[in-house]
Amino acid sequence: MRVLKTIKELREYRKKIMGKVGFVATMGYLHKGHASLINAARKECSNVIVSIFVNPKQFGRNEDLDKYPRDIKRDIKLCKEAKVDCIFYPENKEMYPGDESTIVDVEKVTEALCGKFRPTHFRGVTTVVIKLFNIITPDIAYFGQKDLQQSVVIKKMTKDLNLNVEIRVCSIIREKDGLAMSSRNKYLNIEERAKAVTLYKSLTKARNAFKEGIRNVKELKTIIKKEVDKIIKKGIDQIQYIDIIDINSLKSVKKAKKGDAIAIAVFIGKTRLIDNIIL
Ligand code: AMP
Protein backbone atom coordinates (compact mmCIF):
# COMPACT_ATOMS: atom_id res chain seq x y z
CA MET A 1 0.00 0.00 0.00
CA ARG A 2 1.29 3.44 -0.94
CA VAL A 3 0.90 6.54 1.20
CA LEU A 4 1.28 9.57 -1.05
CA LYS A 5 1.32 13.15 0.17
CA THR A 6 1.62 15.26 -2.94
CA ILE A 7 -0.67 15.81 -5.91
CA LYS A 8 2.25 15.20 -8.26
CA GLU A 9 3.00 11.77 -6.77
CA LEU A 10 -0.68 10.84 -6.82
CA ARG A 11 -1.04 11.84 -10.49
CA GLU A 12 2.03 9.79 -11.44
CA TYR A 13 0.67 6.80 -9.53
CA ARG A 14 -2.76 7.21 -11.14
CA LYS A 15 -1.34 7.31 -14.68
CA LYS A 16 -0.06 3.75 -14.29
CA ILE A 17 -3.39 2.23 -13.21
CA MET A 18 -5.21 0.37 -15.96
CA GLY A 19 -8.40 -0.94 -14.31
CA LYS A 20 -11.24 0.77 -12.49
CA VAL A 21 -10.34 3.13 -9.66
CA GLY A 22 -12.63 3.36 -6.64
CA PHE A 23 -12.28 6.36 -4.36
CA VAL A 24 -13.28 6.90 -0.73
CA ALA A 25 -12.91 10.44 0.62
CA THR A 26 -12.47 10.63 4.40
CA MET A 27 -11.31 12.92 7.17
CA GLY A 28 -9.52 10.03 8.85
CA TYR A 29 -9.97 8.54 12.31
CA LEU A 30 -11.37 5.63 10.40
CA HIS A 31 -13.98 3.17 11.64
CA LYS A 32 -16.12 0.35 10.28
CA GLY A 33 -18.34 2.83 8.44
CA HIS A 34 -15.34 3.95 6.36
CA ALA A 35 -14.27 0.31 5.99
CA SER A 36 -17.66 -0.56 4.49
CA LEU A 37 -17.11 2.05 1.76
CA ILE A 38 -13.64 0.63 1.11
CA ASN A 39 -15.10 -2.89 0.88
CA ALA A 40 -17.78 -1.72 -1.55
CA ALA A 41 -15.03 -0.13 -3.66
CA ARG A 42 -12.93 -3.29 -3.58
CA LYS A 43 -15.83 -5.34 -4.89
CA GLU A 44 -16.18 -3.19 -8.00
CA CYS A 45 -12.74 -1.76 -8.65
CA SER A 46 -9.28 -3.18 -9.19
CA ASN A 47 -7.69 -0.25 -7.37
CA VAL A 48 -8.91 1.56 -4.26
CA ILE A 49 -7.68 5.00 -3.26
CA VAL A 50 -8.62 6.52 0.11
CA SER A 51 -8.00 10.17 0.90
CA ILE A 52 -7.40 11.25 4.48
CA PHE A 53 -7.70 15.00 4.82
CA VAL A 54 -9.35 17.02 7.57
CA ASN A 55 -10.70 19.69 5.29
CA PRO A 56 -10.63 23.05 7.11
CA LYS A 57 -13.00 24.64 4.59
CA GLN A 58 -15.94 22.55 5.71
CA PHE A 59 -15.71 23.59 9.36
CA GLY A 60 -17.50 26.71 10.55
CA ARG A 61 -15.72 29.28 12.71
CA ASN A 62 -16.88 27.87 16.02
CA GLU A 63 -16.73 24.24 15.03
CA ASP A 64 -14.37 21.45 16.02
CA LEU A 65 -11.57 21.71 13.43
CA ASP A 66 -8.78 21.94 16.01
CA LYS A 67 -9.95 19.06 18.12
CA TYR A 68 -11.15 16.81 15.27
CA PRO A 69 -9.70 13.37 16.13
CA ARG A 70 -6.65 12.25 14.17
CA ASP A 71 -4.66 9.01 14.26
CA ILE A 72 -2.84 8.39 11.01
CA LYS A 73 -0.97 5.29 12.27
CA ARG A 74 -4.23 3.57 13.12
CA ASP A 75 -5.78 4.74 9.83
CA ILE A 76 -2.90 3.30 7.82
CA LYS A 77 -3.31 -0.02 9.66
CA LEU A 78 -7.05 -0.12 8.97
CA CYS A 79 -6.47 0.70 5.29
CA LYS A 80 -3.83 -2.02 4.98
CA GLU A 81 -6.16 -4.56 6.53
CA ALA A 82 -8.94 -3.45 4.19
CA LYS A 83 -6.56 -3.92 1.22
CA VAL A 84 -6.51 -0.31 0.13
CA ASP A 85 -4.00 0.26 -2.67
CA CYS A 86 -3.14 3.86 -1.97
CA ILE A 87 -3.78 6.52 0.66
CA PHE A 88 -3.70 10.15 -0.41
CA TYR A 89 -2.69 12.07 2.72
CA PRO A 90 -1.98 15.66 1.73
CA GLU A 91 -1.08 18.53 4.02
CA ASN A 92 -3.21 21.64 4.13
CA LYS A 93 -0.86 23.67 1.99
CA GLU A 94 -0.85 20.98 -0.68
CA MET A 95 -4.63 21.27 -1.03
CA TYR A 96 -4.89 25.01 -0.33
CA PRO A 97 -1.65 26.83 -1.21
CA GLY A 98 -3.34 30.05 -0.14
CA ASP A 99 -3.83 31.78 -3.47
CA GLU A 100 -7.09 30.15 -4.54
CA SER A 101 -10.17 32.17 -5.52
CA THR A 102 -12.55 29.41 -6.62
CA ILE A 103 -15.23 27.66 -4.65
CA VAL A 104 -17.90 25.25 -5.83
CA ASP A 105 -21.28 26.06 -4.38
CA VAL A 106 -24.29 23.81 -5.00
CA GLU A 107 -27.58 25.66 -4.53
CA LYS A 108 -31.01 24.57 -3.20
CA VAL A 109 -30.19 21.10 -1.81
CA THR A 110 -27.66 22.76 0.49
CA GLU A 111 -30.30 25.04 2.00
CA ALA A 112 -32.20 22.35 3.95
CA LEU A 113 -31.28 20.33 7.04
CA CYS A 114 -27.62 20.80 8.10
CA GLY A 115 -27.17 23.60 5.55
CA LYS A 116 -29.50 25.83 7.57
CA PHE A 117 -27.26 25.57 10.60
CA ARG A 118 -23.87 25.22 8.89
CA PRO A 119 -24.13 27.78 6.07
CA THR A 120 -20.56 27.40 4.74
CA HIS A 121 -20.20 23.67 5.31
CA PHE A 122 -21.34 22.21 2.00
CA ARG A 123 -19.38 24.57 -0.20
CA GLY A 124 -16.32 23.46 1.75
CA VAL A 125 -17.27 19.85 1.07
CA THR A 126 -18.02 20.30 -2.64
CA THR A 127 -14.87 22.36 -3.21
CA VAL A 128 -12.61 19.74 -1.65
CA VAL A 129 -14.45 16.81 -3.27
CA ILE A 130 -14.18 18.27 -6.78
CA LYS A 131 -10.48 18.94 -6.15
CA LEU A 132 -10.02 15.34 -5.00
CA PHE A 133 -11.97 14.07 -8.02
CA ASN A 134 -9.72 16.13 -10.31
CA ILE A 135 -6.56 14.88 -8.62
CA ILE A 136 -7.55 11.21 -8.39
CA THR A 137 -9.90 10.93 -11.40
CA PRO A 138 -11.73 7.92 -9.96
CA ASP A 139 -14.21 5.87 -11.97
CA ILE A 140 -16.47 5.37 -8.96
CA ALA A 141 -16.62 7.31 -5.68
CA TYR A 142 -18.24 5.93 -2.53
CA PHE A 143 -20.07 7.98 0.08
CA GLY A 144 -22.09 7.04 3.15
CA GLN A 145 -25.80 7.52 3.67
CA LYS A 146 -24.79 8.54 7.20
CA ASP A 147 -24.22 11.99 5.66
CA LEU A 148 -27.38 11.86 3.60
CA GLN A 149 -27.41 15.52 2.60
CA GLN A 150 -23.73 15.39 1.63
CA SER A 151 -24.37 12.44 -0.68
CA VAL A 152 -27.28 14.26 -2.35
CA VAL A 153 -25.22 17.44 -2.76
CA ILE A 154 -22.33 15.50 -4.31
CA LYS A 155 -24.63 13.63 -6.67
CA LYS A 156 -26.12 16.97 -7.75
CA MET A 157 -22.69 18.55 -8.28
CA THR A 158 -21.56 15.52 -10.30
CA LYS A 159 -24.63 15.69 -12.53
CA ASP A 160 -24.71 19.48 -12.92
CA LEU A 161 -21.01 19.74 -13.77
CA ASN A 162 -20.93 16.55 -15.91
CA LEU A 163 -18.18 15.06 -13.79
CA ASN A 164 -16.91 11.79 -15.18
CA VAL A 165 -17.42 9.72 -12.02
CA GLU A 166 -20.17 7.45 -10.73
CA ILE A 167 -21.39 8.07 -7.22
CA ARG A 168 -22.40 5.18 -4.95
CA VAL A 169 -24.12 5.69 -1.64
CA CYS A 170 -23.56 2.93 0.96
CA SER A 171 -25.75 2.14 3.97
CA ILE A 172 -25.11 3.36 7.48
CA ILE A 173 -22.93 1.15 9.66
CA ARG A 174 -24.01 1.20 13.29
CA GLU A 175 -22.68 0.16 16.69
CA LYS A 176 -24.38 -2.87 18.28
CA ASP A 177 -26.89 -0.65 20.08
CA GLY A 178 -27.76 1.25 16.89
CA LEU A 179 -25.67 4.41 17.23
CA ALA A 180 -24.40 5.41 13.78
CA MET A 181 -20.62 5.08 13.69
CA SER A 182 -18.86 8.42 13.46
CA SER A 183 -15.39 9.77 14.17
CA ARG A 184 -17.09 12.37 16.35
CA ASN A 185 -18.47 9.67 18.70
CA LYS A 186 -15.05 9.84 20.31
CA TYR A 187 -16.04 13.17 21.88
CA LEU A 188 -18.83 11.54 23.90
CA ASN A 189 -18.26 10.76 27.57
CA ILE A 190 -19.91 7.70 29.11
CA GLU A 191 -23.12 9.50 30.04
CA GLU A 192 -23.38 11.18 26.62
CA ARG A 193 -22.65 7.91 24.81
CA ALA A 194 -25.54 6.28 26.65
CA LYS A 195 -27.81 9.14 25.57
CA ALA A 196 -26.64 9.09 21.97
CA VAL A 197 -28.39 5.84 21.12
CA THR A 198 -31.71 7.66 21.49
CA LEU A 199 -31.29 9.22 18.04
CA TYR A 200 -31.55 5.82 16.36
CA LYS A 201 -34.15 4.57 18.83
CA SER A 202 -36.40 7.54 18.07
CA LEU A 203 -35.97 7.12 14.31
CA THR A 204 -36.88 3.42 14.44
CA LYS A 205 -39.88 4.21 16.62
CA ALA A 206 -41.12 6.67 13.99
CA ARG A 207 -40.41 4.21 11.19
CA ASN A 208 -42.42 1.55 13.01
CA ALA A 209 -45.29 4.00 13.35
CA PHE A 210 -45.00 4.67 9.60
CA LYS A 211 -45.14 0.92 8.96
CA GLU A 212 -48.31 0.80 11.03
CA GLY A 213 -49.89 3.36 8.74
CA ILE A 214 -49.12 6.79 10.21
CA ARG A 215 -48.36 9.25 7.39
CA ASN A 216 -48.92 12.53 9.19
CA VAL A 217 -45.58 14.34 9.43
CA LYS A 218 -46.48 16.17 12.61
CA GLU A 219 -47.40 12.94 14.34
CA LEU A 220 -44.22 11.19 13.22
CA LYS A 221 -42.06 14.13 14.32
CA THR A 222 -43.80 14.19 17.69
CA ILE A 223 -42.93 10.53 18.24
CA ILE A 224 -39.26 11.38 17.69
CA LYS A 225 -39.31 14.57 19.71
CA LYS A 226 -40.96 12.84 22.69
CA GLU A 227 -38.28 10.15 22.68
CA VAL A 228 -35.36 12.58 22.30
CA ASP A 229 -36.78 15.01 24.86
CA LYS A 230 -36.26 12.29 27.46
CA ILE A 231 -32.49 12.74 27.21
CA ILE A 232 -32.31 16.48 26.62
CA LYS A 233 -30.88 18.41 29.55
CA LYS A 234 -31.98 22.03 29.21
CA GLY A 235 -29.13 24.44 28.48
CA ILE A 236 -26.77 21.54 27.72
CA ASP A 237 -28.30 19.40 24.97
CA GLN A 238 -30.37 20.63 22.06
CA ILE A 239 -32.36 19.25 19.15
CA GLN A 240 -31.25 21.12 16.02
CA TYR A 241 -33.75 19.64 13.59
CA ILE A 242 -36.09 16.75 12.97
CA ASP A 243 -37.30 16.64 9.40
CA ILE A 244 -39.04 14.29 6.99
CA ILE A 245 -37.77 14.89 3.50
CA ASP A 246 -37.87 13.75 -0.08
CA ILE A 247 -34.47 12.13 -0.62
CA ASN A 248 -33.81 13.77 -3.98
CA SER A 249 -34.87 17.36 -3.40
CA LEU A 250 -34.32 17.24 0.38
CA LYS A 251 -37.49 19.31 0.70
CA SER A 252 -39.74 18.66 3.69
CA VAL A 253 -42.74 16.56 2.71
CA LYS A 254 -46.32 17.27 3.75
CA LYS A 255 -47.26 13.61 3.99
CA ALA A 256 -44.71 10.87 4.53
CA LYS A 257 -44.36 8.25 1.83
CA LYS A 258 -42.21 5.15 1.31
CA GLY A 259 -38.66 6.16 0.32
CA ASP A 260 -38.69 9.46 2.21
CA ALA A 261 -36.08 9.96 4.90
CA ILE A 262 -36.34 11.10 8.48
CA ALA A 263 -33.27 13.13 9.38
CA ILE A 264 -32.21 14.37 12.77
CA ALA A 265 -29.43 16.52 14.25
CA VAL A 266 -28.92 16.79 17.99
CA PHE A 267 -26.29 18.41 20.17
CA ILE A 268 -25.42 16.13 23.05
CA GLY A 269 -23.36 18.49 25.12
CA LYS A 270 -20.85 19.96 22.70
CA THR A 271 -21.06 17.06 20.26
CA ARG A 272 -23.31 17.42 17.24
CA LEU A 273 -24.67 14.08 16.06
CA ILE A 274 -26.68 13.40 12.92
CA ASP A 275 -28.61 10.35 11.83
CA ASN A 276 -31.28 9.37 9.36
CA ILE A 277 -33.49 6.49 8.34
CA ILE A 278 -35.30 5.72 5.10
CA LEU A 279 -38.99 4.95 5.39
P1 AMP B 1 -15.89 11.40 7.27
O2 AMP B 1 -14.53 10.86 7.50
O3 AMP B 1 -16.73 11.48 8.51
O4 AMP B 1 -15.89 12.67 6.45
O5 AMP B 1 -16.66 10.32 6.37
C6 AMP B 1 -16.12 9.86 5.16
C7 AMP B 1 -17.15 9.03 4.45
O8 AMP B 1 -17.53 7.93 5.27
C9 AMP B 1 -18.44 9.82 4.14
O10 AMP B 1 -18.92 9.46 2.85
C11 AMP B 1 -19.38 9.35 5.22
O12 AMP B 1 -20.74 9.44 4.87
C13 AMP B 1 -18.95 7.90 5.38
N14 AMP B 1 -19.36 7.40 6.70
C15 AMP B 1 -19.12 7.96 7.90
N16 AMP B 1 -19.71 7.26 8.89
C17 AMP B 1 -20.35 6.23 8.29
C18 AMP B 1 -21.14 5.14 8.78
N19 AMP B 1 -21.41 4.98 10.07
N20 AMP B 1 -21.64 4.28 7.88
C21 AMP B 1 -21.38 4.42 6.55
N22 AMP B 1 -20.64 5.42 6.02
C23 AMP B 1 -20.12 6.31 6.89
Note the pLDDT of residue 71: 98
31 is catalytic: no
- Please give all residues whose beta carbon lies within 6 A of any atom in ligand 1, as ranges: 26-27, 33-34, 36-37, 143-144, 146-147, 170, 172-173, 180-183
Tell me which residue has its CA closest to atom 8 in ligand 1: 34
Contact 48, 35 (CB under 8 A): no
Nearest CA to ligand 1 atom 5: 26
Mean pLDDT, all residues of the chain: 98
Question: What distance lies between CA 241 and its chain's CA centroid?
Answer: 17
**Residues 13-29 pLDDT 10s:** 999 999 999 999 999 99
Which of 14, 31, 34, 121 is catalytic? The answer is: 34
Atom of ligand 1 nearest to the CA of 27: 2
In the structure, what pLDDT confidence band is assigned to residue 69 with cuts at 50, 70 and 90? very high
Q: Which whole number is the average pLDDT over 267-272?
A: 97
Residue 78 CA to ligand 1 centre (angstroms): 15
Query: How far does residue 170's CA lie from ligand 1's centre (Å)?
Result: 9
List the one residue out of 179, 156, 262, 154 whose CA is nearest residue 214.
262
Q: Say what the pTM is.
A: 0.98
pLDDT for 102: 98
Task: Map the chain to HEC letters.
Answer: CEEECCHHHHHHHHHCCCCCEEEEEECCCCCHHHHHHHHHHHHHCCEEEEEECCCHHHCCCCCCCCCCCCCHHHHHHHHHHCCCCEEECCCHHHHCCCCCCCCCCCCCCCCCHHHHHCCCHHHHHHHHHHHHHHHHCCCEEEEEHHHHHHHHHHHHHHHHCCCCCEEEEECCCECCCCCECCHHHHHCCHHHHHHHCHHHHHHHHHHHHHHCCCCEHHHHHHHHHHHHHCCCCCCCCEEEEEEEECCCCCCECCECCCCCEEEEEEEECCEEEEEEEEC
pLDDT in tens, 214-255: 999 999 999 999 999 999 999 999 999 999 999 999 999 999
Residues 6+ apart with CB under 8 A from 90: 5, 6, 7, 51, 53
